[in-house]
Chains A and B, each alone.
Chain A
Amino acid sequence: MSAAVDIAEALARRLSGVLGWRLVANSVYSVDVGMDDNKLCGNYRPPRATGEITGGVFIIWEDGTVSRGRIDSKTLSRLPRDIELWRSLAYRDDDAAQIAGLMPPTQVELFDPRVADIVTGDSGPVFEAVAQIAEAARESGADVIDAGVGCSAVETVIATSSGLWVKYPETNVWCSWGIDKAMSGIRLGRDRETLAALPRAVCATGRLALAAKARARVDARDMRVILTPRVVESFIGHYILHNMAGENVAEGRSRYSPEQFRERARVFRDDVSLIVDTAVPMGPGSYLCTSEGIPSGRAALIEDGHLAAPILNMKYARRCKMAPTPVPAGGMPPGHAGLTLRAESSESWAQLLAGADDAILVDSVLGMHTQDPTTGNFSLAVPDGIVVRAGQFAGAAKVVISGSFLNAMNEVDTRFALSEDDPNPGIELTCHVES
C-alpha cells in the first residue's frame, strides 16, 4: 500500500514553488458482507471488496488565491495537468489561505494487524460475524434480520508545506443490524475484538424488537419520553452538530453567534457539557492530526452549560478569531466520531429504564433529516414507541413526539443515563406525544 505515498511525494515535489500547500492521501482497501431480509449475500448484498485512493489537496498560489483538488489513483499519471486544472479554479478566500505551522501529531494507536489480515487475506471472520448476528437475532425472537459487517485497512499520508509529513496505518471495523424492520444497532471499532462482543449487543436490540411485537395504546398528552443512546446520537448529529459547526456559526446559519461563544453564553443546564475528543486510542473517530495538520485531542465545546468553542477548522477559526479545535471525523455517528454529551448527574441506563413509569421508549424515529436544526424543535414519527410502565415493557404504539431538543438540554427534569455499550447517553425528557 504505497500508492498514497507515491502520490503525496510527487505532489510535494511539484508544488514546491507555491506559497503554501497541504494534502491528504488515503489508500483504502475494504471487505464487507451483508444480509437483507434473512438472506445472506445474494443479488443485492454480495460480499464486496473495494480498493481505491482518496484524498484532497489545498494550494495557496503566489497571488494569494486558493484552490482545492481531488486526489485519486489517477492523480500520479495526470500530473502536471491536474495542477494546471487546479490553478484554473483558483479563487480568493483570504480566511482559508493559511497553512498550519509545524506541530507534532498526537501519537494515538489506530491499527490492528489482525483486521488488516481480514481485508487482505481471509475474509472468513466477516462472514462469521454476520452469521453470529443472525444467530443472536434469531435467538431473540427476530422474524426478519438485516445485517452488515465490514473491515477496512487504510494508509494515510498527511503533508504540508510547513514540513509536516505524517504517514500512518489504521484499521476500521463496522457492524450493523436490524430486527423486524423496527429496531437496529451499530458497533464501530478498530480492532478484532469489535467483532467479538456482537451477540450481547444484538440481543439487547432483540429485546426491544420483541417488546414492539405487542401493540399498546397511548393517549395524546405531554409525557416522559426516553431516547435510547442510538436516538440521542441522531439528535446530537442533527441539532447540536449543525449549530456548533464553525461554518454555520460564522455565517449566521447557526442558532448561536460567535459573540455568544465569546461571552460564554449559557445554553444548557449547568451540569451538561459537550466534549470533542479525537485522540482516544483505537477510537473509531480518532486520528493523528486533521487534514490541515492540527493535532488531534480533546476540547470542551460546551462547558458546564456554557458555550466554549464552535467546531473550528483553520478558516473559520480565523473568521471567528478563535483557535482551531479538533474536528469530529465525518461519516459516523457523533459519539463514535469523538463528540460526546455529558451530564454530571448521569445515572446508569439500566437504572433509568428500571425506574421508568408511564413513559415511551424511543429507539427509532422517522424524519430526523427533515427537521430544521436551527430552531431546535422536533416533530418526529415513532412507528414503534415502546410503552414502559413500572419499569416493564408493555407493548408498542405508533406515536408522534414533538418538543425542543435544545431547550430540553436546559430543563432540570431532563435525565441522562450512560450504558457501557454507547459513547453517548440515553436521555429522558418531556415531549408532547400524539398517538
Chain B
Amino acid sequence: MSLRVSACTEACRAACERARELGVYAVVRLQDKVERAIGVVNGRTDLKSVEEVSGVGVQVFAEGGLVGFASSDTVTPGSLVDLVESAARLARRSGAYGPEPAIGIDRIRPLVAQVEREVAMGMGAIGHAEEEDLVAGICKMTMEIDSRLAVRTFYRIVDEEWRVVRTDGTDVMFSMPRAAVMNMITARSDGHAATVNASLAGEDASIVASPEGRLRLEKRTVKAARTALALLGAPKARAGSYRIVMDYALAKGLAHEAFGHAAESDCMETSILGREGKFRAGERIAAHIVTIVDGPLEGDYAYQPISANGVPRETVEIVKNGILVRALADVFSARQANVPVTGAARAESFRHVPVPRMSNIRITVDDPLPIDLAFEDVAPQDVRDCLARAGLLLERAPVLYLSGYKGGQVNPAKGDFVFNCSAIYELTPTDIRLCQPAIFSGKVLSALGSIIAGIGQPILDAMGTCGKSGQRVPSSGGGNMFLVIDENEEITIGGV
C-alpha cells in the first residue's frame, strides 16, 4: 500500500527548487485527510458524511531568521511555487518591524522515512450503511435505559496522512488512523437536567464493530446513563479541600492540562517548569512514586510517529520517580529551553504552524494498590473498599471520588488548573453519597506533590482534543485506574 501523499512529489520538488532560487529554507507540509462521520440523535440519523480534506502549508526561513508561512487547499506544482513566493514575501516584509529571528531549523538532520500504520478495521473494513446501523443501535440501546434520556451518538473514523518535505532533503510520510465514538446522554426531569458522556476511542472501527469494543462501550454507556439519572436529584458537594480519588480519565486530564502543557518547550520563558527560560531539569516536583511519560502509542487515538517538522517523535520521560527529567521540545525552542529535541511539534492542519504538544500522556504510580475488576465494572463501593483496605479512607472527613472527565484548562504561566468531572461521590466508612459535579482546581505543583497512591494497572485510552494555540489536535492518555491525591489547601473542589 502506498500513501496518498506520495503522489505529490512533483509539487514538493517544485516548491523546494523555488525556495532555493529565492535563497530561503522551506518546510512543506502536506495533509490528506479522509473522515467519515455518523451522528444519530434520539435514534434518528442526523448526519452522515465523508470529508476529503487536503492542502499544503509552506513555512520559509529567510536571511536573518525571518519567517513566513502560506497555505492553500490547492496542491499543484504551480500553487506550491506561489506559496513559497508568498511566504518569502511575508517573511521579508516582517523584517521592517523587528521580528523575533527563528533559530534551529538548520540544526536538524535530514530524514527520509515512511511510517504507514495499517489497521485491521480501517475505513474500508465496513461500509457506511453498516456503520450507520451500529451507531443507531448504540443510540437506541441507550434510550431504552430510561425514557427520561435524550441521546446524541457521534462516531467518526479518520484516515489522515502527512508528508513533510524540507529543502535539506528531508522527505517523510506517515499516517495517523483513528476512530472515536461518543454518547452524550442528557437526563431531564422536573426542571432538572444533567449530561454525562460515555466514549471510546482507538485506531479503527473495532470500537463499535468488534464484540470487545461494543461491550466496553455498552458498559460505559449504562454507567453514564445511570449516573445522569441519579444526578437529577443529587445534592451539591460542599466546597473545600479533600483527599481525592480520581479515575484514569481525570488523571489524564491532570497530566495533560495541569502538567504537560507546562513541560512544552515553547512556553518555557513563562512556564512554572522553567526558570529564566530554561527547563528545571533535575528538580523534584512530585513524590518518588510518580512518573509521567508522553509519546506515541501504536493503536492509540492520538498516535503520531513523526513530528510536523519531520523529526521522529520520541517517547519522553518528563518526570521519573518524582524528578523533572525532560521537556517536550521541537527544533525551534529546544536550545533556548536547554533541552534536547524530542520531535514534539504537531499541527491541526495544513493551515497551521506546528507547536510543541503532547500526544499520549500518562501519569503512573509505583506499586499501585490491586483491584481485580475491569474499569467498566468498578462501582463506587469498590473504590471505597480498596481505599479502606489500604487505610486511605478517612474517619474525620469524606474522601471525594471524582468520576468522568469533562475537560479542563490551565494557565502554564501561573500554574493554575481547573477541570471538571461528571460526578462526585462522597466516600465515608459508612456511606456513599452521589453529588453534583464541581470543578477541581488548584496549583499544578501542589497537585503533583500530593499524589500518595495509585489503584490498578495503567489504562491509556482516555480520549480528548487539545486546543493549544487555537489548534485542535487529538490527544489521549491516562494513568493507573485511579489516583489518590491527599488533601491540600491549594487544591479545592469548587462547589455549585
Contact = CB atoms under 8 A, between A and B. Distances in A.
Contacts of A48: 68-71, 90, 353
B77 interface: no
A33 B94 contact: yes
A83 interface: no
A46 B413 contact: no
Contacts of A88: 128
A375 interface: yes
Given A73-B74, A85-B50, A400-B239, A434 B416 contact: no
B186 to A, nearest CB: 5
Interface in A12-53: 31, 33, 37, 39-53
B411 A252 contact: no
B86 A49 contact: yes
A247 interface: yes
Interface in B50-86: 50-55, 59, 66-74, 86
Interface stretch (A159-167, A191-199, A365-373, A410-418): A365-373
Contact of B45 (A41, A42, A91, A372): A91
A68 interface: yes
A377 B420 CA distance: 13
B353 A45 contact: yes
Interface stretch (B188-196, B296-304, B388-396): B188-196
B119 interface: no
B150 A252 contact: yes
B269 interface: yes
A253 B152 CA distance: 9
B94 A366 contact: no
Interface stretch (B15-23, B107-115, B280-288, B434-442): B434-442
A402 interface: yes
Given A251-B152, A252-B186, A44 B353 contact: yes
Interface string B381-411: 0000000000000000000000000111111
A252 B42 contact: yes
Given A89-B50, A181-B270, A370 B73 contact: no
A377 B195 CA distance: 12
B132 interface: yes
B155 interface: no
A432 B441 contact: no
Nearest to B45: A91
B93 interface: yes
Nearest to A93: B45
B414 interface: yes
Nearest to B415: A383
Contacts of A42: 67, 99-102
A181 B414 CA distance: 8
A377 B73 contact: no
B270 A251 contact: no
Chain B contact-residue range equals 35 or more
A370 B406 contact: yes
A286 interface: no
Contacts of A381: 416-418, 439, 441, 494
Contacts of A253: 150, 152, 184, 186, 195
Interface string A232-267: 000000000000000100011101000000000000
Contact of A383 (B70, B99, B416): B416
B145 interface: no
A50 B50 contact: no
B370 interface: no
B101 A74 contact: no
A181 B411 contact: yes
| Majority SS at the chain A contact face | mixed
A43 B45 contact: no
Interface in A373-410: 374-375, 377-381, 383, 398, 400, 402
A127 interface: yes
Interface string B97-129: 111111110000000000000000000000010
B437 A372 contact: yes
B87 interface: yes
Given A41-B99, A46-B67, A380 B418 contact: yes
A37 B73 contact: no
B117 to A, nearest CB: 25
B103 to A, nearest CB: 8
Contacts of A33: 94
A43 B231 CA distance: 47
A39 B93 contact: no
Contacts of B97: 40-41, 127-128, 130-131
Nearest to A143: B270
Contacts of A130: 97
Contacts of A114: none
A371 B193 CA distance: 13
A131 to B, nearest CB: 6
B100 A41 contact: yes
B492 A434 contact: yes
Given A42-B100, A48-B90, A130-B97, 9 more contacts: A47-B69, A74-B52, A85-B50, A93-B46, A144-B413, A370-B439, A380-B418, A381-B494, A400-B492
Top 5 A-B pairs, shortest CB-CB distance: A370-B420, A42-B100, A252-B150, A39-B100, A367-B418
17 contacts: A39-B99, A40-B97, A41-B67, A43-B266, A46-B67, A52-B74, A85-B50, A89-B48, A89-B128, A131-B97, A144-B270, A251-B152, A253-B152, A375-B436, A377-B496, A379-B495, A400-B492
